[in-house]
Amino acid sequence: MKKKNFFLAHKQFTFFLILALLIILGAIFAPVVTGGADPLKGSLTEALEAPSRAHIFGTDKMGRDIFTRVIYGARASLSATFGVVALIFLVGTAAGVTAGYFGGWVDGVIMRIADMMLAFPGLVLALAVAGIMGAGSRNAIIAIVLVNWTKYARLSRSLVLKIRDRDYVSAAIVTGSKTKHMLFSYMLPNALPTLIITATTDIGGMMLELAALSFLGFGTRPPAPEWGYMLNEGRACMQSAPWMMIFPGLAIFLVVTVFNMLGDSVRDILDPKEA
């Protein structure tokens, strides 16, 4: 029997993967999409113009084209989000696997630090950390990583604990397998599928957290285009120029929805319970 094509067999995954790739390509090739327009260049004579053929998303209070800023804003939002997810994944997984495999005081120290971080509301703690370090996209990323690594640490630790005492692991230890071999040949491969699912589904949530920090003034510094900051800019003109908030808000909504649905599709494919 002929094996069915992977992408045809998982149509939902394929659909949202294509949308996600289009979003990423749009951000990478922003100069092409916007026709070479400058997202920082404005004209006060064109300030707060409603959507028209010349400016399909309208202009902001500085006369800058909102469509151009939304497209370029995808670069800042996506790169920061992917950076956050990658760092959380690496830090949390390394801490959790180490705690689960070695146990004892190593496990105690790492998990108590994680418990301390979990004792505070996530966004409030991120705001506090970002406030201490100052505004900036790098500091916003660091703040969110410091707050969210605990989920991956606890998850990877629990996965390692499930397999650490299995017979084939004990046999490998008895035969003289080194710690490095045990970690990279047994612990990580068994934990990675679940962690990848979690990372994929977290992309949307991390984007919202970064946008929230920028909206509150702790993220990307002006005048750089970033969706959360653009929402903050449009707040003062919400009644007279609602398009300043509508289009950045729609961009966040659509991108978060696409990546959340992509994450659900990846979970359906990789979840061993569905196999």
Q: What is the CATH number of the domain that holds 112?
A: 1.10.3720.10
For residue 34, being part of any structural domain is answered with no
Per-residue pLDDT at 18: 94
For residue 35, being part of any structural domain is answered with no
For residue 38, being part of any structural domain is answered with no
The answer to whether residue 275 scores a pLDDT higher than 50 is: no
User: Given pLDDT bands bounded at 50, 70 and 90, which one contains residue 87?
Assistant: very high
For residue 37, being part of any structural domain is answered with no
CA dist 210 and 74 (Å) reads 12
For residue 52, being part of any structural domain is answered with yes
Q: What is the pTM for the complete model shown?
A: 0.86
Give the count of domains, the chain. Answer: 1
CA dist 275 and 261 (Å) reads 19
By the 8 A CB rule, do 59 and 65 touch? Answer: yes
Per-residue pLDDT at 250: 94
Per-residue pLDDT at 270: 75
Tens-digit pLDDT profile for residues 33-70: 988 888 888 888 888 888 988 889 989 988 899 999 99
Range of the domain at 240: 12-27+44-274
Query: Mean pLDDT score of the chain, rounded to an integer?
Result: 85
Rounded mean pLDDT, 264-270: 84
Highest mean pLDDT among 22-26, 168-172, 195-199: 22-26
Highest mean pLDDT among 1-5, 135-139, 197-201, 257-261: 257-261
The answer to whether residue 2 scores a pLDDT higher than 70 is: no
Tens-digit pLDDT profile for residues 106-135: 889 999 988 888 877 777 788 888 778 877
For residue 84, being part of any structural domain is answered with yes
The answer to whether residue 161 scores a pLDDT higher than 60 is: yes
For residue 3, being part of any structural domain is answered with no
What is the chain's length? 275
Per-residue pLDDT at 23: 93
The answer to whether residue 163 scores a pLDDT higher than 90 is: no
Per-residue pLDDT at 3: 60
Residue 41, both tokens: 């260049």
Per-residue pLDDT at 274: 46
Residue 247, both tokens: 């289009």
- DSSP β-bridge partners for residue 59: 65
For residue 157, being part of any structural domain is answered with yes
Per-residue pLDDT at 92: 92
- Between residues 10 and 19, which one has the greater pLDDT? 19
Range in 75-79, 99-103, 175-179, 221-225 with the lowest mean pLDDT: 175-179
